[in-house]
Amino acid sequence: MNILHCDLDAFYASVEQRDHPELVGKPVIVGGLPGSRGVVSTCSYEAREYGVCSAMPAKQAYRLCPQAVFLPPDIPKYIRVSQDVFAILHRYSPVLEALSIDEAFLDVSGCHRLFGSSAQIAKMIKNDVLQETGLLISVGIAANKFLAKLATNLSKPNGLMELGNDEIAEILPSLPVSEIWGIGSKTAHRLNKAGIYTIADLLEFPRSKLETILGSNTDFYIQLCSGKDSRPVLSRSDRKSIGNEITFPVDLADQKEIEQLLLELSCQVAYRVRHASLIAHTVTIKMRTPDFQTFTRSQTLQQGVDADLTIYDIALNMYHQSGLAGKHLRLLGLSCSKLLERNLEQPALFADENDILDKIIDDMKDKFGSAAIKRGSLLNKKGRNM
Amino acid sequence: MKFVIEKKELSAISSLVYRAASNKNTIPILSGILIQVSKEKGLTMTATDMDIGIIASTQNIEILDEGKALVNAHYFADFIKLLPDGTVIIELNMEASKLNINYGRSSGFINIYRDFEYPNLPLEKMEKKMVLPQAVLREALRKTSFAAAANHFRQVFTGVLFDLAEDNQLKIVASDTHRLAYFNYQLDNDNLNPLSFIIPIRTVNELLRVLNEEEEVINISFSENNVIFHKDNFILLSRLIEGNYPNYKQVIPSTSTSRVLIKSNSILNALERAKTMPTDDKLKIQHVQFKFNENEVVINAYSEIMGELEEVIEDVQIEGEKEVKIAFNTNYFLDIAKIMQSECNDMEISLSGAIGPAIIKNPDNNNYLYVLVPLRTGN
């Protein structure tokens, strides 16, 4: 039982409730605003009682829970809090695999002499996180990643659960297939249509027929359903890309406005790239037209980039050459990939003046919060939503 | 239009000019090569894609009829290049819209563009800025242009800088930000005004095709934001790269902690072997480590996939700090070593510790040098 899965409860919403005590106990929805076409990023447990859930369109969330407090996300703030939490996790084991901003695996093999049993470590983590960041974190303990994550899901919120062999034999067979790692609502629906509702159903189903639904991953899922998962906790899980996208409240065609949004996206994404001590060799923009056609343009550079304005210039150039400049768009996205560690990059002779400015802006954001400083060209924006 | 010309003469001109024609089909006439024949000027060929334009001419023809025609540059040049040596007769058949090419008892024709309006290259307001021997320009470009970036988000690094100061010193500089090549030449023109401009690498490559060791000079002029390189029977016009080149003088170190003299040939051979090592997954740049000690250097290249290479070069003279461990991009160092090997027995390497930029130069010649940023390999 050496694998811990740690997951912050309703992360964005909890951070906002922590920073705005008047919101404690109220339904809080972070994400798109009600009048917009954005979606819910996170909602507090109070909002979940009304049936609101992540990735739900903001409009629908508003219908379900009109009294909720809707807030736009403050990603830089969440990144800072997340880093604090991950630093706490790191105290207990060097083998940490971040799954997302609010979720990580920890392999505590060999750490018991220092810190005690896995359950004791989990308690210390929960205590440290609450004391130091004011947030609740759920921890699942099991022999592998799948079961540890399952333990967290079953015990949330503010959970702590250890899934031993006896519990697994008892709990696992009756769980719905949607609890299996990697089975989303679509696959779950197809399994249900085939008469497979629970994990036990899946294990009894003929393998060859199962393959028509699950494809090449069939064996992996069968393993998971048997409680087996041999994937190691990868301490330096290589990030493939860092990106962000905006769904506009109304379709946008105004080039000036789109350019401004592109700048804002560039600044957000570049800030995250720099914070991760990475440098990007590919910049990609994504544009979705009102008829839901999605177009991407990307450029790969010999030279790694991490400066706000450099990424913006590349993105802007691609936007203008995409053939979609001036056309109506409903979504705009920007991402950086081919990420390499910044300190392994070949050093440069000429300092980029953009780097110096970015450094100053980053320092101010880190110290005073992401609202403390902004590029002048991002002021006077029309109302919109992330 | 009708004229008689030797194949070699014809091919020499067309193969120089056609490369300026556009490869894209967006504006069809820009894919063309304009052929003009007049008693006054002889044969002139012109091609441009509006980024770069080349005009070349010859008097070595026999003119039967004056006139002009525009044909596809690539078709024409490819065809002419493969003709057998001997006399070629070129004749325009306007009615049939074709350009007949007769060689010996054989012949072919290329369709012409009809009723075209070919753009005029802006040559009227040409203002001469400087003159230098073409051999010098050739040497300068050969020694610097390889250091420019193949692509870079800062456009200026994809070109070669010409920087003329008040003291008539012309500095030619190229850098991809990790390395820098510098060449200096004292012009003997009178009353030159300071001037600084950046030409694209493509222009450099076209120039290098035409520059030779003959004593002729090359003139550099300006016209409407274009630079024009011209000599007898040849004009190359190019747009400039806009933007300010950063202060390159600042990044050339003025001090060092070690000065090393080492056989150019030995380094070149060691680097050629090191280049066979594939890159490793972590540091995706081919690199070599140099361990200087007393009077030798150990060169090491390691690849998890392939293996390891360790070479000892003896008879190395080291002044100043004698023990230095430093790593470089293999290909960057190799580019420089190739030039040094053809110029000098020993090359001089000035180091400033393991992370300071190094200067590599010919110890007997101060008019060119290279700055190379070492790699942080983590060991």
3-class DSSP string for B234-252:
EEEEEECCCCCCCCCHHHC
B177 Cβ under 8 Å from any chain A Cβ: yes
CA distance B40 to chain A (A): 46
Residue-wise pLDDT tens digits, B155-193: 999 999 999 998 899 999 999 999 999 999 999 877 788
Residues A35 and A141 in one domain: yes
Please indicate whether residue A204 or residue A377 has the higher confidence score (pLDDT).
Answer: A204
- Asked if A346 and B357 come within 8 Å (Cβ–Cβ), the reply is no
The pLDDT score that the predictor gives to residue A381 is: 56
Under the banding of pLDDT at 50, 70 and 90, the label for residue A384 is very low
Instruction: Write out the residue range of the structural domain in which residue A276 sits.
Output: 236-371
- Asked if B283 and A344 come within 8 Å (Cβ–Cβ), the reply is yes
Question: Strands of B61-65's sheet, edge to edge?
Answer: B61-65, B2-6, B87-93, B98-103, B106-111
Name the fold adopted by B131-249.
DNA Polymerase III; Chain A, domain 2 (3.10.150)
Contact yes or no for A263/A377 (Cβ under 8 A): yes
Residue of A nearest to B280 (CA): A344
> Which range has highest mean pLDDT (A90-99, A241-250, B31-40)?
B31-40
A356 Cβ under 8 Å from any chain B Cβ: no
CATH class, domain B2-111, is: alpha beta
- Asked if B373 and A313 come within 8 Å (Cβ–Cβ), the reply is no
B166 Cβ under 8 Å from any chain A Cβ: no
| Contacting residues of A for B149, CB less than 8 Å apart | 302-303
CB contact set of A317 (below 8 Å; sequence gap of 6+): A299
Residues 254-293 of B with CB under 8 A from A: 282-285
Residues A180 and A39 in one domain: no
A266 Cβ under 8 Å from any chain B Cβ: no
Select from A344, A348, A349 the Cβ nearest to the Cβ of B282. A344
CATH class, domain B252-372, is: alpha beta
Residues A189 and A220 in one domain: yes
The pLDDT score that the predictor gives to residue A383 is: 42
DSSP 8-state assignment for residue B92: E
Contact yes or no for A357/A270 (Cβ under 8 A): no
Under the banding of pLDDT at 50, 70 and 90, the label for residue A238 is low
Residues A116 and A243 in one domain: no
- CATH 3.10.150.10 boundaries in chain B: 2-111, 131-249, 252-372
Kindly report which listed range (A73-77, A304-308, B48-52) carries the lowest average pLDDT score: A73-77
Residue-wise pLDDT tens digits, B2-23: 999 999 999 999 999 999 999 8
Over range B337-347, report the average pLDDT.
95
Please indicate whether residue A385 or residue B337 has the higher confidence score (pLDDT).
Answer: B337
CA distance A347 to chain B (A): 6
Q: Is residue A240 part of a domain?
A: yes
Q: Chain centroid to CA B363: how far? A: 25
Select from A343, A349, A352 the Cβ nearest to the Cβ of B357. A349
Residues 180-239 of A with CB under 8 A from B: none
Residue of B nearest to A306 (CA): B153
Please give the C-alpha separations between residue A324 and each of A68, A232, A384, B68, B327, in angstroms, as whole numbers. 37, 44, 21, 42, 46
Residues A36 and A175 in one domain: no
Residues A312 and A241 in one domain: yes
Domain count, chain A: 3
Query: What's the complex ipTM?
Result: 0.72
